[in-house]
Structure 1
């Protein structure tokens, strides 16, 4: 008897051991898995061929109540898919693989989740090396795949087609469907919270637009994050090379992309990048302020609100007689709390419900809509935005010029009882009641105040019209602008406001083909740069404002922000953010501290990113047409921003043919400008290449060199180059080409940097610059590729010498011109300019020679 018991126990243990074995690559039907059965391997019952991924009955967070069928990246323990996310099982629940598919049953035999009906019987369940859990039939045909049923994550090799979406999890330990979604449309990837959009891939400053195609699917791969359509990328986020990547919509609503290296996941991208742009950054009705010290925002409550107690996550009214409503579940008695000038995340991505109106009309729209919980009203345009169904966090205004007033709807608390009313009546009785005299006088006083307000408004309008006449303007104040509305128009200023802000245009800080720039201070103490526009066509105000609306809606960290404008009478002014370090030419060519190499590289990268956004990231492609150091402005830490973008659109058709000053500057003009060839974004690439060479050398590309300050001949090893050995006018791009051919890159570096730059650093920028200035536009890289080269994610190309030979012709022409000119004349000009030769504007040196003819500028062909 004892022998029988021992034998039976052995057989039982052997069968249990076999059934608990973790299988590799695939399993066949009539298979059962439980967490308890596979507990020694953390619930894992199936591994991919190389053990990159595992399928398991898993309890995230270590809790012991909710278990899920999961696919997990083994090295990082990241869950990339879960089957029964909304129907977890206990530790004794089971997964069955049958001929009909996968079924998950909890204790008591209740089915919690299963695969849909299949077209044929299952032969095996496979876990691929990409992390795809696949049901196959006997012919190896796919019956069902986890990749086609995504949860909150996609990985390399997986596609998210148009119409599909990712949904966040409830928490790290609760995989149930959360409130955030990432949806793919035919034109974009969109993050939403209860239907309110708070991020779009197309509007992210790090994302570039490559084509106007229709989006078909989203994917990540070893080089980046893409929206693909018609066999090519429509939108692209370039990332460093990585063999494994995870893109996930996390529990807080962030869309993150992480790469895996070694034993850790490294975050490469997060959208939205601004923490305050996430819906619940500071809870319901919380006020979110950007933290300049860290990425964690500063949370507070709006005026007349305080932090709620208990389980309340957010802010509630100070007056306990009011509470925040639930959509369509409140009484008809409503009020609005004015929370001041703020922003709300969804208004950046939605259209107003009213384009031109007053505040009262905006409030009436919300009052009559039970799902409306708040309004945001733009003073300058009369636009009205409403928030429906749920209210998220509010953003502190960044002074961007929208002048958006926020109002939160509140309701009278129903629990206010008649006893409270009786108490109030008793208190009023004890104080002697409400005087009859006051009741009689109040209507008279109100009427008097109303008439006074009407008179003051009439008087202000009359004085405004008189000022218009005095200034010789052809239209009343701004009435002609009020007669129409253009969505997205920046803040509008009166001419008198800007006169006062600039102290009657006292401090000149710059000038160019479009006009002079003056420093100003607005009433809120913020500094601005005010540009007086000249040399534009006789456009109507509406045409002018339409173009300004386009420019004002272009936002990127490397583009100078347009804060407002003035179109009053004949005056046209633009109000920009103030860049406290001035223009690149003053910092690079002036007599101040030498720009270090890293600072120069940061300027180059920032400028490249800004141009890439203008060319590929905007809804309407913008060609700058005048990239030069004067139009690259710097802030603290030498953060570079491009100015004057889009202004070429303000030129009249008659002026569009001009290439000097307004439409490009000599020394930065691509050859196609003077050969009547098509002007494309590649003309900006050429100009950028010329700026890049100036960043390398610290000099203007065309400068006069006398014997006393010539390039050290010892550095050139005694070589006799046409660009370097002869005193006179030096054409640096030719010198750069010659040194590139000889591999002598350090001779091109600014001598003021001494030994603080390496040959490899200089070679990188010179090779990129030479590729940018290829004579044929088609051979020049686009700016997205240039950014990749600078960042290191795209290999450095080799310049095509045959497309750079025109530089030799340029160099000979400049050399001949300098020998004809009297050297003393150049010295006189230089003395008058009070600058060193390194800081001389190229136009001053070459003005004597006008410009090379259109027949010669492109060189011999």
Structure 2
């Protein structure tokens, strides 16, 4: 007893006599050693910033916690914003040491648990700045190390989080160790992840406003808001709208934090109330964080339950386990692939309809166009696979690997046809019983059955086998003669395959043509259920045509959007192919826009512009995988009686994946709508469609083709092609002089002068305001930027047209190429039209008059008026 009292008295003497109890201001020099014991009266504080905004201390997260950390906290609120040894806490007797080589933290045995990295110079002092940055400097006051480079779960006002910078949530309020949720700044967004699985991104939040399309360099929160900066860093690429409800003049201190429940929050300190208020919280959907309800828990409007076939797991609450005791969940492994274990029999427990797993939305499927059984086989072969989601229509196969989070009820999402399955292991006893019963039955049955019964079964089996073989041979013979090439396509969820007789009946033996294209005629038809359809009869089907036919079925048949034409079915008859579309009563946009008759009203044109943009935005951002149309033009924009807009003709479309960053030399479009990258061998992307859309938008504004040539003086008999360009019949060597008009150049010049109304079709004079015209002209010119990275995404185009995003300002330096194209197109030139030649880029150009010194095969002026892709 006496010994214990003596120990206590010695400790009390130590606390009251040590010189280290001093709280320094601004900086500390080596050699300095301290512990929580030495600063117990000041709650572990040993260093303050010059203006006292921040304090460095040895603190525990909660008064009852035995874990201590080197921290920086906000002095007024005592909120910890940074911890050094977050994954290596020390006890109350651990020490912090500042030496000429850096900072080290030691546990009560003297062992180092954390230290700053090796520095290239000698430490002169440790400083705590008014910004909250804890830094080590040399004798020239040059920073050797700083805490801002190693954030915990929080950044403070004025602190920048660069691209690649990550905030990691704490494991719990009582411990600073790394949690499972992270927030990371990328070059294009800010993403929220659980165990490296993305479940939300900042741009999905309605309060995020895109100001520019340039890459992001850093994120910062300050007294006025929350920003993601571009390059140069003064440019705001994305602004997150924050509304403050407080009138406290001192309420300009904010922090951004990833919380341990997976939400990202911006908190504002109100000094008047000595409390924090929430200025921004995302995601608002409380079910978004992937572990909201534990492993396999079902989250619905914030409440947790279990999916059918599962029960609450008493061990892992919150969370669910399989209801069937004969099944167990497998553990993941480090090996990506392995051969199936003979002792494991996998079964797949369905999650049922209306179930969603958010990480699936942010990754590409491992395969598309595969059956459910194939998807299951792929999961069975991977010991890291714990479940899957399969798209019934698209045939997409998503594997859930390494970790299982919470499932979300998505009954309101009717367009999502993905069904989920959880991988389970069937116990040996149950699988053996099943196998034994199935394998023993024939033997037992044969023993019990009389001889006459056995003979009857044998005769029946032989007869059925012969009949089945004859049927297969008959079907094979029919397929070989009718559609041998079509059977090469293995596409899950194909649209209806019509019989040829059905289409003959629907079109009254193809007697009602409503249009024509390079592949053949389009007929109006009425199916037996009275549905009016458009039947596209494809007759000019070469090797490329077969491929495009299959691509069109695969792509159009698996996408659904109000602004995309719906493919109802297809048919193969002999060497002919038929595509059956929904019927659009007013035909294509070019017929209404360019043909004689009353002009389209401005509001109609605007709605067509918005509808087309929405359709393309869905192709680029809403499909899985993403799709580039590659042939956006008025002929491929269809209209109904009520002016509903639908994009058609996906024969030239290509799937877009992150790996497809190279040049697609087989992708071609139509003259007049081709982006400059087609002619420079640059990579083709979704921004190629944006350029074509900009050209269509200009034609909507003026009511005629962008490129118009009118024959002038000269010999020969020039004719006018279907796209409004004059030409001379193939093989003729007659020369003619041409005067031409290039509207994109005029649009650029009128934009520079602010004369937007002069660009609108004259017949609409007095019915369009200058602001309405300026909006469409500016959007169109932004889409025409020569540099694809400067063009807006189609999602942003929709936002600009609808008014939810400010209209961008065209970058003149990236539009100067229009002056070159315009001059080349409009100057009088002698053109020799002869045999077309194929150039290395895959484009068709007319033969060039060698006597013309300015002739260039790379100029739009000398490209053939034929569609570069061939007739459509």
Identify the TM-score tier after normalising by the shorter chain.
0.5 to 0.7
- Closer, same or farther: CA 604–385 of 1 in aligned 2, 3 Å: closer
Structure-2 residue corresponding to 1:475: 484
How far apart, in 2, do the equivalents of 1:308 and 1:579 lie?
54
User: Which residues in structure 2 correspond to 1:33-48 (within 5 Å)?
Assistant: 37=39, 45-47=47-49
TM-fit CA distance, 1:176 = 1.5
How far apart, in 2, do the equivalents of 1:326 and 1:467 lie?
49
- Is the contact between residue 290 and residue 406 of structure 2 (CA under 8 Å) also seen in structure 1? yes
- Closer, same or farther: CA 501–520 of 1 in aligned 2, 3 Å: farther
SS at match of 1:492: coil
Residues 733-767 of structure 1: CA deviation (Å, up to 9, x unaligned): 89978986775768989999999998656544434
- Is the contact between residue 90 and residue 106 of structure 2 (CA under 8 Å) also seen in structure 1? yes
Structure-2 residue corresponding to 1:496: 498
How far apart, in 2, do the equivalents of 1:627 and 1:792 lie?
26
Whether 1:124 aligns to 2:129 is no
Whether 1:792 aligns to 2:813 is no
SS at match of 1:792: coil
Residues 181-228 of structure 1: CA deviation (Å, up to 9, x unaligned): 6799999999875576778999999999999xxx9x974479976999
Match of 1:319 among 300, 315, 324: 324
Structure-2 residue corresponding to 1:715: none
- Is the contact between residue 248 and residue 257 of structure 1 (CA under 8 Å) also seen in structure 2? yes
Structure-2 residue corresponding to 1:406: 421
TM-fit CA distance, 1:495 = 1.9
Match of 1:304 among 287, 299, 309: 309
How far apart, in 1, do the equivalents of 2:679 and 2:64 lie?
72
Residues 425-473 of structure 1: CA deviation (Å, up to 9, x unaligned): xxxxxxxxxxx9899469989999998997897577456446647xx61
- Is the contact between residue 392 and residue 492 of structure 2 (CA under 8 Å) also seen in structure 1? no
- Is the contact between residue 87 and residue 178 of structure 2 (CA under 8 Å) also seen in structure 1? yes
How far apart, in 2, do the equivalents of 1:345 and 1:89 lie?
38
- Closer, same or farther: CA 309–738 of 1 in aligned 2, 3 Å: same
Q: Larger deviation: 399-408 or 194-203?
A: 194-203
Residues 372-404 of structure 1: CA deviation (Å, up to 9, x unaligned): 544567788999776554333457797879876
How far apart, in 2, do the equivalents of 1:584 and 1:35 lie?
80
- Closer, same or farther: CA 594–66 of 1 in aligned 2, 3 Å: farther
- Closer, same or farther: CA 146–671 of 1 in aligned 2, 3 Å: closer
SS at match of 1:176: strand
TM-fit CA distance, 1:133 = 3.3
- Closer, same or farther: CA 249–438 of 1 in aligned 2, 3 Å: farther
How far apart, in 1, do the equivalents of 2:765 and 2:202 lie?
44
Structure-2 residue corresponding to 1:20: 23
Structure-2 residue corresponding to 1:145: 146
- Closer, same or farther: CA 561–89 of 1 in aligned 2, 3 Å: farther
SS at match of 2:114: strand
SS at match of 1:316: strand
Match of 1:631 among 609, 627, 637: 637
- Is the contact between residue 538 and residue 576 of structure 2 (CA under 8 Å) also seen in structure 1? no
How far apart, in 1, do the equivalents of 2:209 and 2:526 lie?
31
Structure-1 residue corresponding to 2:670: 663
Normalising to structure 2: TM-score of the pair? 0.55
- Is the contact between residue 69 and residue 84 of structure 1 (CA under 8 Å) also seen in structure 2? yes
Normalising to structure 1: TM-score of the pair? 0.55
- Is the contact between residue 373 and residue 386 of structure 1 (CA under 8 Å) also seen in structure 2? yes
- Closer, same or farther: CA 735–770 of 1 in aligned 2, 3 Å: same
- Is the contact between residue 626 and residue 687 of structure 1 (CA under 8 Å) also seen in structure 2? yes
SS at match of 2:317: coil
TM-fit CA distance, 1:69 = 3.6
- Closer, same or farther: CA 447–104 of 1 in aligned 2, 3 Å: farther
SS at match of 2:296: coil
How far apart, in 2, do the equivalents of 1:27 and 1:498 lie?
88
Residues 608-630 of structure 1: CA deviation (Å, up to 9, x unaligned): 8569879xx99999473324496
Match of 1:392 among 386, 389, 405: 405
How far apart, in 2, do the equivalents of 1:453 and 1:609 lie?
53
SS at match of 2:484: coil
TM-fit CA distance, 1:136 = 2.0
SS at match of 1:766: helix
SS at match of 2:489: helix
SS at match of 1:175: strand
How far apart, in 1, do the equivalents of 2:820 and 2:577 lie?
44
How far apart, in 2, do the equivalents of 1:541 and 1:520 lie?
26
Structure-2 residue corresponding to 1:725: none
- Closer, same or farther: CA 400–368 of 1 in aligned 2, 3 Å: same
How far apart, in 1, do the equivalents of 2:187 and 2:85 lie?
29
How far apart, in 2, do the equivalents of 1:684 and 1:769 lie?
12
How far apart, in 2, do the equivalents of 1:196 and 1:126 lie?
38
- Is the contact between residue 773 and residue 780 of structure 1 (CA under 8 Å) also seen in structure 2? no
Structure-1 residue corresponding to 2:171: 170
- Is the contact between residue 95 and residue 102 of structure 1 (CA under 8 Å) also seen in structure 2? yes
TM-fit CA distance, 1:135 = 1.8
How far apart, in 1, do the equivalents of 2:759 and 2:577 lie?
43
Superposition RMSD in Å: 7.7
Aligned pairs, how many? 709
Q: Larger deviation: 188-197 or 538-547?
A: 188-197
How far apart, in 2, do the equivalents of 1:557 and 1:47 lie?
57
User: Which residues in structure 2 correspond to 1:12-411 (within 5 Å)?
Assistant: 19-20=22-23, 23-24=25-26, 26-29=27-30, 30=32, 32=34, 37=39, 45-47=47-49, 55=56, 68-71=69-72, 81-88=82-89, 95-104=96-105, 113-118=114-119, 120-127=121-128, 132-151=133-152, 157-159=160-162, 167-171=168-172, 174-180=175-181, 219-220=218-219, 238-239=238-239, 251=260, 279-280=290-291, 283-286=294-297, 301-308=306-313, 311-327=316-332, 332=343, 334=345, 336-339=347-350, 349=363, 359=373, 373-374=386-387, 387-393=400-406, 406-411=421-426
- Is the contact between residue 490 and residue 563 of structure 1 (CA under 8 Å) also seen in structure 2? no
Residues 821-856 of structure 1: CA deviation (Å, up to 9, x unaligned): xxxxxxxxxxxxxxxxxxxxxxxxxxxxxxxx9579
TM-fit CA distance, 1:320 = 3.9
TM-fit CA distance, 1:409 = 0.5
- Closer, same or farther: CA 613–354 of 1 in aligned 2, 3 Å: closer
- More helix per residue: 1 or 2? 1
Residues 504-524 of structure 1: CA deviation (Å, up to 9, x unaligned): 689999978588699999x9x
Q: Larger deviation: 261-270 or 338-347?
A: 261-270
Structure 2 regions of 5+ residues with no counterpart? 1-11, 243-251, 271-275, 335-340, 434-443, 656-664, 707-740, 829-859, 866-872
- Closer, same or farther: CA 778–505 of 1 in aligned 2, 3 Å: same
Structure-2 residue corresponding to 1:6: none
Residues 34-62 of structure 1: CA deviation (Å, up to 9, x unaligned): 599599899694448895x7656566689
How far apart, in 2, do the equivalents of 1:503 and 1:277 lie?
51
SS at match of 1:647: coil
How far apart, in 1, do the equivalents of 2:400 and 2:757 lie?
59
Structure-2 residue corresponding to 1:428: none
How far apart, in 1, do the equivalents of 2:49 and 2:290 lie?
38
Structure 1 regions of 5+ residues with no counterpart? 1-8, 290-295, 422-435, 483-488, 651-655, 704-729, 814-852
Structure-2 residue corresponding to 1:845: none
